[in-house]
A and B are shown apart, each in its own frame.
Chain A
Amino acid sequence: MAVTGRGASVRGMTLADAWRTFLTATKLGWAIEANWSDPFLFAVYTMAKPLAAAGILVVMFQVITGGQNPEFLQFLIVGSALWNVVFGVMSGLVQSILEDRERYRMIKYVVVTPTSLFPFLLGRSLARVAVSFVAVVLTMVVGVLFLGVDLQPNLVYLIPATVLGVTAVIALGVFMAGWCLSLRQEAWSYPEAIAGALYLVSGAIFPIDILPTILHPIAYLSPTTWWLEASRRGLLGHGSPGAIGGLSDEAVMLILLVSTAVVVPVALAAFAWFMRRARRAGLLDMTTGS
């Protein structure tokens, strides 16, 4: 008999099966991410981008200040390093889902299996996220060894800030992945555009006081602003220059907690809605040729 009762468990729907899906997708994602080249070129690729991005800021700083104001340099290095995670998570989640739909054309097969797309998506993008964390560590190490960045880590503050911040960033990535699934054109450009816009308003490389006043509310609403601020306090022992630096550590952590608590359920609900819409509109096996 092929009929199953309403209460019977469906294979692929248990936590263990979701975990297996996640692991399989992780292996697949790592293979796709890493085996396009020999290890040397892959290492160069992993290191060159974040170091060059930080290098641009360091040279700009040196040209103008001649090395004065080391606190601002630390602000730049930490912000530039941590931003790799935002970009890695966003582009990882979105590009995984778009590659599987547009290029490898197998997302429709994943969707029709009795498992959830969600653990697959997380596992599939994990390699890119892992590479972004390598970039963070690498930039920090270079900052400490060669640029005089004085790390004074406060783990009691840094660990919860990192957990909350990365959770919020993953939620933003999940939202973007769902959104891009429902787009017909130029979906590939969206993560870069959104990450770029957040880069501008989150105080990643300059204090948000410098922004035009009209952008301040967006900056204060973004969880990435509070994650960067909390991380700076956890890593350097002091906050950013400007108004946000005047807040107490507890207030910054509380705002990060609240913004994460808002973003996560909204992102998950939006992803579910985008998936339902994609199923109904036949977008899962669509190729845009973009």
Chain B
Amino acid sequence: MNRYASTPGMNPREAAEWSTGRIIRSNLRAVIGRAYPRVIGLTREPSWLFFEIFLPFLAVSAFVFVYRALEAPEAYVGFVVLGGAMTAFWLNVVWMMAAQFYWEKDQGNLELYFTAPMHLMSILAGMAIGGLVMTSSRALAVIGIGSLLYGVTYDIQQPLLLAGVFLLTMIPLYGMGMLFASLFLLWGREAFHLAQLLQEPIYFLGGVNFPLRAIGPVAGVVMATLPLGVGLDAMRQLVFADSGVAGVLPVGTEVLILAVMGVVFIVAARLALGYLETLARREGRLTLRWQ
């Protein structure tokens, strides 16, 4: 009689019946395994380091010089630097979360994910945690270099609240990336174009380079849909308390909105992933390259 790997089961059905502890351990290993290349990539891929700091920094510099040409108050330079740092997270969400399943399909990894004994949410969680760690270093570099070069001064009176708002922004932001990972795969062949489409329009709607209040009533729509915009507006109120520029809503209200968004995006990502998995198993089409 055969035994199946390390389980006491004597047939495939018995072997597939895992204890809850084993399921949790297996999924945790998947999270760590998927986060590992992104964390270790911090030191092993210098070209990433260069481009992920250099590109947002170029954009930051261009907008800083526009404000200087317009003789804007110095607080606006700080708005741009903070916006540039948050852009690094958004780019990470778009290119390394949302488009990731598409690249994985092209490289032939997606079918391995579907057949491995783990939940796909563990893969997405691993990508998010790894991406968050990796991008935090880039964002800090953008803030550090931008602040030194352009002489930005900060007035932070509630650092703990600021840290809480930042973390609370990351949950719906990466939840959105998890949701888009499934949607990009379902929508079509060109993740590249979809990712491109989510750059400048989102920078505009998210108020990355100006106070969100400046776009008028559209800011209300942003408050309901775009965690980048809500989080950035709340963080600007906390980081530049002395700027005199008002946020769209009080920080407390924006914190509540971010908390709700976090739940909504994670649940939506879970549902989309379930649908994707059903399609992949039923049609087999989603795991074919270049489809």
Contact = CB atoms under 8 A, between A and B. Distances in A.
Contacts of B264: none
A99 to B, nearest CB: 9
A200 B58 contact: yes
A189 interface: yes
A48 interface: yes
Interface in A62-85: 62-65, 72, 76
A211 B62 contact: no
B55 A59 contact: no
Nearest to A47: B201
Contacts of A45: 193, 196-197
A61 B76 CA distance: 12
A186 interface: yes
Contacts of B62: 196, 199-200, 204-206
B17 interface: no
Interface stretch (B19-27, B111-119, B209-217): B209-217
Given A49-B199, A56-B209, A63-B210, A189 B51 contact: yes
Nearest to B71: A64
B193 A196 contact: no
A76 B51 CA distance: 26
Q: Which of A44, A59, A289 has the most CB of B within 10 A?
A: A59
A60 B210 contact: yes
A52 B203 contact: yes
Nearest to B80: A60
Contacts of A37: 188, 190, 193
A72 B200 contact: no
Contacts of A50: 200
B61 interface: yes
B184 to A, nearest CB: 12
A185 interface: yes
A60 B55 contact: no
Interface in B197-242: 197, 199-201, 203-205, 208-211, 214-215
Contact of B215 (A53, A59, A196): A59
B63 interface: yes
Interface in B172-210: 188-190, 193, 196-197, 199-201, 203-205, 208-210
A60 B58 contact: no
Given A64-B76, A193-B54, A200 B190 contact: no
A193 B58 contact: yes
Contacts of A192: 55
A57 B208 CA distance: 11
B45 to A, nearest CB: 8
A55 interface: yes
Given A37-B188, A64-B70, A186 B200 contact: no
Contact of A207 (B69, B214, B215): B69
B281 interface: no
Contacts of B210: 56, 59-60, 63
B66 A205 contact: yes
A57 B200 contact: no
A48 B198 CA distance: 9
A193 B69 contact: no
Given A52-B201, A60-B63, A197 B58 contact: yes
B68 A206 contact: yes
B65 interface: yes
Contact of B203 (A56, A62, A206, A210): A56
Contacts of B107: 289
A49 B204 CA distance: 10
B262 to A, nearest CB: 26
B79 to A, nearest CB: 10
B200 A52 contact: yes
A73 B106 CA distance: 44
Contact of B197 (A44, A72, A204): A44
A95 B126 CA distance: 30
B198 to A, nearest CB: 10
A56 B51 contact: no
14 contacts: A49-B200, A52-B205, A53-B200, A53-B204, A55-B204, A57-B66, A60-B63, A61-B70, A64-B72, A185-B47, A192-B55, A200-B62, A205-B66, A210-B65
